[in-house]
Amino acid sequence: MRLCVDYRGLNAVCVNNLYPLPLISELLANLSCGKYFTKLDLREAYYRIRVKTEDEWKTTFNCPLGSYQFRVMPFGLQGAPAVFMQLINEVLSEHLYHGVLVYMDDILIYT
């Protein structure tokens, strides 16, 4: 089960993060040299990224049980995919395009 919050109001006032996604054609071109492949799907990857403490209040949502706010990056924020791609690319930077490809929360390892 995944909690979905309507963040249209927050997204409307957020600054766009323009970190680029890799082109699928570019990723596929790198696979031609591979013989063996392993695919990893990072489940609930966004929940691994902490929201800055001073920004947690911005994620507040209400439900019949009360008001809550996220400590981790929730689904539905317009900048979430770009933030995650930037982070995972930094973590895997020395391996990218040398046996490792990343697209969103999927990692492909090839030899």
Write out pLDDT tens, residues 15-40. Answer: 888 898 899 999 999 998 899 999 99
Q: Which two tokens stand for residue 17?
A: 């993060």
Let me know if residue 2 belongs to a domain. no
**Of 18 and 101, more confident:** 101
pTM score, two decimals?
0.80
Structural domain for 21, as ranges: 7-110
CATH number at residue 89: 3.30.70.270
- What pLDDT shows up at residue 91? 96
User: Could you tell me if residue 1 is inside a domain?
Assistant: no
Separation of CA 19 from chain center: 11
pLDDT reading at 1 higher than 80: no
User: Which amino acid, one-letter code, is at 76?
Assistant: G
For residue 75 the two structure tokens come to 């689904």
Q: Give percent above pLDDT 70 in the chain.
A: 99
72 located within any domain: yes
Number of Cβ within a 10 Å radius of residue 80? 18
Total tally of structural domains belonging to the chain: 1
Confidence (pLDDT) at 4: 84
Q: Is residue 18 part of a domain?
A: yes
CB 25 within 8 A of CB 87: no
- Asked if residue 103 belongs to a domain, the reply is yes
Three-state SS sequence of the chain: CCCCCCCHHHHHHCCCCCCCCCCHHHHHHHHHHCCCEEEEECCCHHHHCECCHHHHHHHCEEECCEEECCCECCCCCCCHHHHHHHHHHHHCCCCECCCEEEECCEEEEEC
Average pLDDT, integer, range 44-72: 93
